[in-house]
Chains A and B, each alone.
Chain A
Amino acid sequence: MNGGSVDLAVIGVGPAGMSAAITARKHGLSVAIFDEQNSPGGQIYRNITGLGSDRLASILGEDYLAGRPLADAFADSGAIYRAGTTVWRIGEGGVSWISAADSGETAALHVLVATGAMERPFPVKGWTLPGVMTAGAAQILLKTDQTVVDDAVFVGCGPLLYLLAYQYLQAGVRIRALIDTTDKSSHIAALPSLPAALLKPSYLRKGMKMLSAIRRSETPIHRGVTEVDFSGTDRLQAVRWRDRVGEHSIECDHAFVHHGVIPNVNVTMATRCTHRWDEAQTCWRPETDAFGRTSLDWLTVAGDGGGIGGAKSAALSGEIAALGIAYDLGRIDRSAFDRASGRLLSKRRRDLAVRPFLDRLYRPAPRFRAPVDDEVVVCRCEEVRREQLAKAVQEGCPGPNQLKSFTRAGMGPCQGRMCGHTVVETIAQLSGRSPQDVGYYRIRMPIKPVTVGEIAGLTASQGEPS
């Protein structure tokens, strides 16, 4: 087989994937690791090995630079690293992949999915307009190429939105306004989780520092925002919002939206391992034990793809998962496993202490998760509006898969990534069922679109099949 045979195949070279590879190699496992990007780091440490500029390094800050030693250790780990490579099929026994130059299948005794998080959909009117992009996207532009834009409006809530605003201010890039959708009631609702969060005060301290820097800047901040939409002909021209006082709008060319991150579940869903609806994080996640073991004995999940915990927890869960795999494959004995994992598990527990507080404080209001306006495009690829979903649900459509058949929501090239959660929460809201009961799309192979020729196993140099 072109692609060889290893003990462990890892998908994703973010903090979880890198540390899993390092740990697995330490215990003598052969590892092949795959990632779509051309350099390691995942989204959080994107371009960590290619950052040329000291100024950019200081703008991105020490939390970002923490990825450097990890990437260095990963480079020395001896794992087979396939950069710029898309895994399109995953199953018991290994993975199928393609890259610009090559394609193949890699056999593996075990597979670890470390595909991380993606930003929650932001389904409001006009979110498909050119000029509207996620805060994460804007941060990737900053990290990879120092690409920025002046006078963007920041819309939404959550740590990443404020972090980007802070980094923009550090870089001297003008921000038109911050339109904060943090639910007023969340401040009170999050209070019970505050004592636990204070066990790990560094996160809160950093958060306060960012927020006060934004407040001290000249950036106009609008709080208590309950509705948002975007308008324009052929591209973004204005953002409109509503608060307790009434309706407001400003003209702008660019908006960065953010309502937190959710596990990128397409890969794990495609394996059909068991998933659960996580009500605290309002998202689907694969059901795992502390070591990331799923309902399938050949599959483990580490990092934010198994539930949102942030970069440090992701790195720890990569180590923990790799230990579990090494133990399950008989490469380390029980006492070594217990010793190493006990320490890591308690470290991760401490790191996660802040999470319930953040989850509750920045939980997007229901109307931002399941739009109530019929005109809102829910499925961007097939341009399916909320109205079409509501009509199908009204006719008794039993769940997201029949809905997909009837409306085409989820049938486009993004394979349901951008609409899955919205569709589920919309069905739940309209039918009075829980998201867990509603279920999710059945995600199919290929995990990412690949050409017919690539599935046929033809490489660019090969001619016609005979």
Chain B
Amino acid sequence: MPAVASSDYVVIGGGIVGAAVSYGLARAGEKVLLLDEGDIAFRAARGNFGNVWVQGKGGTSPAYADLTRRAANDWADFARELEERTGQDLHFRRPGAFYICFSSEELQRRAETMARIDKSATVASPFEVLDRPELAKRLPEIGQDVAGATFCPSDGTANPLHLLRALISGTILLGGRYLPRQAALGLRADGQGVAIDTQAGIVNAGKVVLAAGLGNEKLAPQLGMSAPVRPVRGQIMVTEKIRPFLHFGTNFIRQTLEGGCLFGESSEDAGMDDATTLPVLKETARRAITAFPLLRNARVVRAWGALRIMTRDGVPVYQQSRSCPGAFVLSVHSGVTLAPFHCGAIVEALRAGVLDAGTFEPFSPERFHVQAA
């Protein structure tokens, strides 16, 4: 096969994670090539809420709690810089978000979890526990059957589609290259770097970053790494534009700045099937109406299934290959929240050529082997 392209850095995967790394590399003056699949891809970037979400994250990993909190705190600066460069409004807002609970038991459990995480984390992120009367003061449209909510002012929202587009535009503006419809079919260490087989031919990389989402699982072992990820399907619906009524984030309903309401909270193991199913859509619709009864009369324009990229513990996996030190793998399901980290600290580590143990050890896939032993 002919060599069709080469670059100091090749990032595999044109979702939010890959595009953030590419953007960061291009911004640091590196020569980067972003390889992407075609138009029909399992693209979590196109199926998510755009929450910049802190609360409740890191229950099993204080390092992840801190990572998330730092990234959320960095989001405003990150957004400003990217917006100025690309002219793309990311619709970033940080009004805080509610985690809606449907029973007092659920609310109590939630409050305990939040308190536990807060104790173990080193970066502060205050939260409040609100009973129904207090919640109704802040969210007048909340339903009668909601028991309460936790509220965290660190949470925010952004438009994930604008974010993805801005990261790709920004990469191109900074001299990076974007090659869509070039799925990576195979990888091998090749002298100092990595050779990547694509449909068009071989792409040569000095360093390679795997950010192919669920595709990482097959690609990572080819370079002596592992990406223990599985697809978790979420089914989401979006309504027509309606007059703004929900100015905060919540755990499963969000009104975008364009006016549509997104909602969905299902988690299913459905393999690689990203279809929607009637029972889940019905239940999702019922829950949405229970939370906000006025949604009953809102019209749904689209429903879709998206496959989340889930590691066993929900914590990201960042790994450098031992056998091929120029190869890295990033397996993350919170690409929006962690975007500032992916185009900042990750990029610095890539350029240094090493994921330093201090920052990255908690995110090594080795942790799964330890647990298994």
Which residues of chain A have a CB within 8 Å of any CB of chain B?
A: 89, 91, 96, 105, 392, 395-402, 405-406, 408, 411-413, 415, 438-439, 442, 444-446, 449-453, 455-458, 464-466
B239 within 8 A of A: yes
- Among B109-117, B161-169, B215-223, B314-322, the one that faces the other chain is B161-169
**Which residues of B are found within 8 Å of A392, using beta-carbon distances?**
165
Residue-wise, chain B 25-56 has the 8 Å CB interface mask toward A (1 for contact) of 00000000000111110000010000000000
Q: Are B180 and A442 in contact (CB under 8 A)?
A: no
Shortest distance from the beta carbon of B200 to any chain A beta carbon, whole Å: 13
**Of the residues A396, A399, A401, A452, contact of B289 by C-beta under 8 Å:** A452
Query: Do residues A444 and B276 form an inter-chain contact, with CB atoms below 8 A?
Result: yes
Contact, CB under 8 Å: A465 / B286: yes
Contacts of A458 in B (CB 8 A): 289, 296
> A453 vs B286: C-alpha distance in the bound complex, in angstroms?
7
CA distance A105 to B38 in the complex (A): 36
When C-beta atoms are compared, the residue in chain B nearest to A449 turns out to be B299
Interface of B is mostly: mixed
Which residues in B have their C-beta under 8 angstroms from that of A397? 180
Whole-angstrom distance between the Cβ of B287 and the nearest chain A Cβ: 9
> Judging by beta carbons under 8 Å apart, are A452 and B237 in contact?
yes
* CB nearest neighbor in A for B238: A411
Which single member of B164, B165, B168, B281 contacts A455 (CB below 8 Å)?
A: B281
**Is B297 a contact of A453 with CB atoms below 8 Å?**
yes
Residues of A within 8 A of B144 (CB): 464
B289 touches A453 (CB 8 A): yes
Q: In the assembled complex, how far is the CB of residue B356 from the closest CB belonging to chain A, in whole angstroms?
A: 34
User: Do B39 and A449 touch across chains, with their CB atoms under 8 A apart?
Assistant: no
Q: Give the chain A neighbours of B327 by CB distance below 8 A.
A: none
Taking a contact as CB atoms closer than 8 A, the residue among A96, A413, A456 that contacts B301 in the complex is A413
Residue pairs across A and B with Cβ atoms less than 8 A apart, 28 shown, are A395-B169, A398-B39, A400-B39, A401-B39, A401-B40, A402-B46, A405-B164, A406-B165, A413-B301, A415-B302, A445-B281, A446-B300, A449-B301, A451-B296, A451-B298, A451-B300, A452-B296, A452-B299, A453-B285, A455-B281, A455-B285, A455-B303, A456-B285, A458-B296, A464-B143, A464-B144, A464-B145, A464-B293
Q: B298 to A444, Cβ gap below 8 A? A: no
Which residue of A is nearest B143, CB measured?
A464
Interface centre among A401, A415, A450, A456 (most CB of B within 10 A): A456
Q: Identify whether the interface residues of A are mostly helix, strand, loop, or mixed.
A: loop
**When the two chains form their complex, are residues B303 and A445 in contact, meaning their CB atoms are under 8 A apart?**
yes
Contacts of B36 in A (CB 8 A): 398
Quick one: given A405-B46, A452-B298, are A396 and B282 in contact (CB under 8 Å)? Answer: no
Residues of B137-189 whose CB lies within 8 A of A: 143-145, 161, 164-165, 168-169, 172, 178-181
A446 to B302, CA, bound (A): 6
A284 CB, nearest partner CB in chain B, Å = 15
Given contacts A412-B301, A452-B300, A455-B237, contact A398 B289 (CB under 8 A): no
Q: Are B178 and A444 in contact (CB under 8 A)?
A: no
B282–A398 touching, CB < 8 Å: no
Nearest residue in A to B235 (C-beta to C-beta)? Answer: A445
Tell whether, in the assembled complex, residue A402 and residue B296 are in contact, meaning their CB atoms are under 8 Å apart.
no
15 further interface pairs, Cβ-Cβ under 8 Å (given A450-B300, A453-B297, A455-B285): A91-B278, A392-B165, A396-B178, A396-B180, A401-B46, A406-B164, A439-B40, A442-B40, A445-B302, A452-B237, A452-B295, A452-B297, A453-B296, A456-B282, A457-B282
Return B162 CB to nearest CB of chain A, in Å.
8
User: Which among A402, A452, A466 has the highest number of chain B CB atoms within 10 Å?
Assistant: A452
Chain B neighbourhood of A449, CB < 8 A: 240, 299-301
User: Chain A contacts of B336 at CB under 8 A?
Assistant: none
B258 contacts the other chain (CB 8 A): yes
B7 at the interface (CB under 8 A from A): no
Q: Contact check, A445 vs B40: say whether CB atoms are below 8 A apart.
A: no
Partner of B172, one of A396, A413, A439, A466: A396
For A465, list chain B residues within 8 Å (CB).
Answer: 286, 289-290
Compute how far the CA of A96 lies from the CA of B37 in the bound complex, rounded to whole angstroms.
34
In the bound complex, do residue A408 and residue B258 qualify as a contact, i.e. CB atoms below 8 Å apart? yes
Whether the pair A446, B296 counts as a contact (CB closer than 8 A) is no
Task: Assess whether B304 is interfacial by the CB under 8 Å rule.
Answer: yes
Given A445-B281, A456-B289, A439:B237 Cβ within 8 A: no
Task: Determine the chain B residues whose CB is within 8 A of the CB of A439 once the complex forms.
Answer: 39-40
Q: Contact partner of A411 among B38, B172, B301, CB < 8 A?
A: B301
In the complex, the answer to whether B296 meets A413 with C-beta atoms within 8 Å is no
Q: Give Cα A439–Cα B276 distance, bound, in whole angstroms.
A: 21
Minimum CB distance partner of B144 in chain A: A464
Q: How far is the CA of A392 from the CA of B39 in the complex (A)?
A: 13
Q: Which residues of B contact A450 (CB under 8 A)?
A: 299-300
**A395-B172, A406-B165 given; A444·B286 CB < 8 A:** no
A70-B300 Cα distance, complex, nearest whole Å: 36
Considering the chains assembled together, what is the distance between the CA atoms of A457 and B296 in angstroms?
11
Please, how many angstroms separate the alpha-carbon atoms of A455 and B236 in the complex? Answer: 13
Q: Are A395 and B290 in contact (CB under 8 A)?
A: no
Q: Which of B38, B46, B180, B276 contacts A445 (CB 8 A)?
A: B276
Q: Are B300 and A396 in contact (CB under 8 A)?
A: no
What residues of B have a CB within 8 angstroms of the CB of A466 in the complex? Answer: 145
Give bound CA distance, A464 to B145, whole Å: 10
B288 on the A face (CB < 8 A): yes
Which residues of the partner chain A approach B178 to less than 8 Å between Cβ atoms? Answer: 395-396
A413 to B300, CA, bound (A): 9
Contacts A402-B39, A439-B39, A466-B145 known; A452 to B288 CB distance under 8 Å?
yes
Q: Are A396's CB and B39's CB within 8 A? A: no
CB contacts (< 8 Å) of A405 on chain B: these are: 46, 161, 164-165
Contact A406 B161 (CB under 8 A): yes
Does the CB pair B179–A396 fall under 8 Å? yes
The answer to whether A455 and B300 touch across the interface, beta carbons within 8 angstroms, is: yes
**Contact code string B223-240 (vs A, CB < 8 Å = 1, else 0):** 000000000000001011
CA distance A455 to B277 in the complex (A): 11
Known: A96-B278, A453-B285, A456-B285. A399 touches B39 (CB 8 A): yes
Q: Which of A408, A450, A455 gathers the greatest number of chain B CB atoms within 10 Å?
A: A455
- A408–B257 Cα gap in the complex (Å)? 13
Q: Which residues of A contact B281 (CB under 8 A)?
A: 445, 455
The residues of B that contact A415 with a CB separation of less than 8 Å are 301-302
> Which of B143, B169, B299 meets A413, CB within 8 Å?
B299
Minimum Cβ distance to chain A for residue B163 (Å): 11
- Can you list the 10 inter-chain pairs with the closest CB atoms, starting with the nearest? A399-B39, A398-B180, A456-B285, A453-B296, A449-B299, A455-B285, A444-B302, A405-B161, A456-B286, A406-B165
